[in-house]
Amino acid sequence: MIEAVGGEGDGVAAGPVYAPYTLPGERVRLRGRGERRELVEVLAASPERVVPPCPHFGVCGGCALQHWEHGAYLAWKVQRLAATLARQRIETEILPPFAAPPGSRRRLTLHARPGKRDEARLGYKQRKAWTLVAVEVCPIADPRLEAAFPALRRLAAPLFENPKSAPSLHVTLADGGVDVDISGVAHKAGGLSADARMRLAEAAGAANFARVTIDGEVAFMARQPRVRLGAATVALPPGAFLQAVPQAEAAMAAFVTEAAAGASRIADLYCGVGTFTFPLAGIAPVLAVDSEAPAIHAITAALATAPGLKGVTAEVRDLVRRPVLAMELKRIDVAVFDPPRAGAAPQAAELARSQAARVIGVSCNPATFVRDAALLIEAGFRLERVLPVDQFLWSPHIELVGVFVR
């Protein structure tokens, strides 16, 4: 009998025993030994079980929970977030979650392997394996990206001159079209041959892609990929981080700006290309800081597209080795931080020592968020409210935005 769903999305039976694609209350037949088993048959299905929308589900490792009714699945994610907060004895108001709809992902990472001369195999990795699962459809993807799969297979075909190459295509749907940054190409002396580069550019041009880069170096460019962030139009650097779902980005930006209302000066730490910087700059002057120089340069260049902002000062700085110090934040009354999965412990410690009245934390990892939150709470902040964000549909991952007040 499956009793619960664990943190990776597998069903959990007594033992514990973990079984993928199972739900609480189900009786199932499993194979294997030890804690990790494989599902053979569902003997008694949960009333919450639904037909997965993707024909690749169960083989492809991209999604774990397509078989679960959406309301129950979303409630499980919110409960996991609440339990993570409770383990640190953090009590707060958890708001109704934002839930990304199917067909909304504008950013995908697709893996390529050799196929025909003019068409590579393209898809995702198999669950808990390195084997490629070639995909024809992907219900999480924006339909315009899904429609580009055949062209992306042709684009990847010239990348295998070196047998050690295992390319990944980081694909973003931007204003102006599809932007592709390719990694994992093993180079011989001098990199790809002139013939391979020509074939790559021809495939990109035939597909009307906006830009193709290899490890950040431009291999083809018809148009500059851009995105609208607040009042600004930002030219995306190659491989730049962007929220995966534009609706999630809009919901988080609206929540952050609402929480920052009334500020006189704002710090946006780990600002990226300005997801929150530009909406916040409509409220008050913003200090925007990030370790990625191309992102900071993109913010600076985009200021000319957004007259009427209160002002943005952008700085390149490694916030792990050189966090913005409390004394440097003395004029800041609202601070926003949006770190990578590892969290922001050094910067959170400085925010805790600062005189900021409000701190807004954006996180893709609740475990590191609660660690950083503990530093703020110990210094006299209270986590007032949390917005759960289900941006990665049918995965076990949940994101959040939390508002701290003194």
Task: List pLDDT tens digits, range 240-278.
Answer: 999 999 999 999 999 999 999 999 999 999 999 999 999
* Sheet strands (E) in 20-101: 27-31, 38-44, 93-94, 98-99
d(CA 19, CA 134) in angstroms, rounded, equals: 24
Own/partner pairs, 54-57, CB within 8 angstroms, 24+ separation: 54/137, 54/138, 54/139, 55/136, 55/137, 56/123, 56/124, 56/133, 56/135, 56/136, 56/137, 56/138
Asked whether the beta carbons of 95 and 139 are under 8 A apart, the reply is no
Q: Give the active site residues.
A: 364
Residue 13 is assigned to a structural domain of this protein: yes
Asked if 399 and 253 sit in the same domain, the reply is yes
Residue 344 is assigned to a structural domain of this protein: yes
Alpha-carbon 96 to chain mean position: 20
In 61-179, alpha helices (H): 70-87, 143-147, 149-156
126: number of Cβ within 10 Å? 15
pLDDT band for position 154 (50/70/90)?
Answer: very high
- Pick the closest to residue 69 from 50, 90, 45 (CA basis): 50
DSSP tag of 327: G
Asked if 88 and 135 sit in the same domain, the reply is no
| Mean pLDDT for the stretch of residues 383-402 | 98
Quick one: CA dihedral 260, 266, 268, 269, positive or negative?
Answer: negative
d(CA 153, CA 130) in angstroms, rounded, equals: 19
Residue whose entry in the numeric block shows the structure tokens 């804690």: 35
CATH code where residue 265 lies = 3.40.50.150
d(CA 192, CA 186) in angstroms, rounded, equals: 9
Asked if 43 and 152 sit in the same domain, the reply is no
Residue 54 is assigned to a structural domain of this protein: no
| Mean pLDDT for the stretch of residues 396-401 | 97
Asked if 119 and 250 sit in the same domain, the reply is no
CATH code where residue 119 lies = 2.40.50.1070
Residue 153 is assigned to a structural domain of this protein: yes
CATH code where residue 24 lies = 2.40.50.140
Asked if 180 and 211 sit in the same domain, the reply is yes
Residue 213 is predicted with a pLDDT of 97
Asked if 132 and 258 sit in the same domain, the reply is no
Give the amino acid at 12: V
Asked if 33 and 119 sit in the same domain, the reply is no
d(CA 126, CA 52) in angstroms, rounded, equals: 17
Residue 177 is assigned to a structural domain of this protein: yes
In 17-168, alpha helices (H): 70-87, 143-147, 149-156
d(CA 77, CA 82) in angstroms, rounded, equals: 9
Residue 191 is predicted with a pLDDT of 76
- Pick the closest to residue 57 from 131, 172, 140, 152 (CA basis): 140
Residue 400 is assigned to a structural domain of this protein: yes
Read off the tokens for 385: 């409210």
Asked if 301 and 366 sit in the same domain, the reply is yes
How many distinct structural domains can be found in the chain? Answer: 3
Asked whether the beta carbons of 171 and 106 are under 8 A apart, the reply is no
Asked if 85 and 157 sit in the same domain, the reply is no
Percent of the chain residues past pLDDT 90, beyond the cut? 95
Strand partners, 334: 266, 358
Alpha carbon distances (Å) from 321 to 317, 324, 325, 345: 9, 10, 11, 11
Asked if 150 and 82 sit in the same domain, the reply is no
| Mean pLDDT for the stretch of residues 352-375 | 97
- The DSSP result for 257-304, as a single string, is HHHTTT-SSEEEES-TTTTTHHHHTTTS-EEEEES-HHHHHHHHHHGG
Residue 66 is assigned to a structural domain of this protein: no
| Mean pLDDT for the stretch of residues 384-396 | 97
pLDDT band for position 116 (50/70/90)?
Answer: confident
* Domain range enclosing 45: 2-49
Residue 124 is assigned to a structural domain of this protein: yes
In three-state secondary structure terms, 321 is coil
Residue 132 is predicted with a pLDDT of 95
Task: List pLDDT tens digits, range 43-86.
Answer: 999 999 999 999 999 999 999 999 999 999 999 999 999 999 99
Asked whether the beta carbons of 403 and 112 are under 8 A apart, the reply is no
pLDDT higher than threshold 80 for residue 189: no
Asked if 220 and 163 sit in the same domain, the reply is yes
What integer best gives the mean pLDDT of the chain?
96
H/E segment holding residue 210: none
Asked if 292 and 219 sit in the same domain, the reply is no
pTM higher than 0.85 for the full model?
Answer: yes
